[in-house]
């Protein structure tokens, strides 16, 4: 059902809508989240301008951001836009960038090519698996707050569920605040109280420090080149400020 929920719209036309998703909102209704989702909000926002997908008046979700991941994403408003966006994503004819604050200090630049599939131990998790689907993530370090943390940019070459979170965790540099894949540093490894205090502050961060900062693609109908950016939200910016000043 349509629900009046605040949305930050970056761009909208008769075919697509680009928005800046807030952390804490689920993209699509599911058994654990039947309402209060992005889809409910879009049904209200778009109203009669929503043509619908597959004969149903609903927005076309082509990609998702996890509940506690924020940032820029695109949604289709018409059947044709949905079909063409699916092709764009399937062919990887777009540029998606994320920023993440991670534990430790990865090497400056690299690429992770490890297949991802459903975990055989915990069905709520994804895992590195030879039987999984191809997943490729490029990354480069933007800043280092040695020896505790770094901020990195990730570019998705593929778009598997929890891809960045799984790849970075497997690398040994999981995202701060990730309660599913996180592996935080222990305060006991540092004698310096400044470092111990910093780790304590970081551990109190309420969500994974992951934000979709850039989305660029050719419009699915008009073919016009589109490029959108989303600055880091207040909570991640505040976390970085703390890391710099401590």
- Annotated catalytic residues are 66
Cα→Cα distances 63→30, 91, 166, 171, Å: 15, 13, 17, 24
- For residue 47, the tally of other CB atoms under 10 A from its CB is 10
Inter-residue long-range contacts of 116-124, CB under 8 Å, 24+ positions, other chains counted:
116/160, 116/161, 116/162, 116/163, 116/166, 116/167, 124/180
For every residue of 17-46, DSSP letters joined together read EEEEEPTT--SS-BTTBSSSSHHHHHHHHH
What gap in Å lies between CA 50 and CA 72, rounded to an integer?
20
What gap in Å lies between CA 65 and CA 59, rounded to an integer?
15
Cα→Cα distances 226→13, 94, 147, Å: 12, 10, 38
């Amino acid at each position: 059902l349509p629900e009046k929920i605040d949305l930050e719209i970056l761009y909208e036309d008769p075919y697509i809508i680009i928005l800046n998703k807030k952390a804490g909102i689920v993209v699509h209704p599911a058994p654990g989240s039947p309402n209060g989702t992005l889809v409910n909000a879009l049904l209200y926002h778009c109203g009669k301008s929503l043509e619908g997908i597959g004969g149903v008046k609903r927005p076309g979700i082509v990609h998702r951001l996890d509940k506690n991941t924020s940032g820029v994403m695109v949604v289709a408003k018409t059947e044709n836009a949905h079909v063409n966006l699916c092709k764009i994503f399937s062919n990887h004819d777009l540029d998606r960038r994320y920023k993440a604050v991670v534990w430790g200090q990865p090497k400056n630049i690299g690429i992770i090519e490890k297949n991802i599939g459903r975990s055989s131990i915990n069905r709520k998790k994804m895992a590195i698996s030879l039987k999984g689907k191809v997943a490729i993530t490029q990354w480069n370090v933007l800043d280092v707050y040695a020896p505790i943390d770094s901020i990195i940019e990730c570019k998705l070459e593929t778009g598997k569920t929890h891809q960045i979170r799984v790849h970075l965790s497997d690398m040994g540099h999981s995202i701060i605040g990730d309660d599913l894949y996180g592996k935080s540093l222990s305060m006991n490894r540092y004698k310096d109280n400044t470092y111990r205090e910093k780790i304590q502050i970081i551990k109190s961060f309420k969500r994974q420090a992951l934000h979709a900062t850039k989305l660029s693609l050719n419009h699915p109908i008009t073919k016009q080149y589109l490029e959108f950016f989303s600055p880091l939200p207040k909570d991640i910016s505040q976390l970085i400020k703390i890391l710099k000043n401590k």
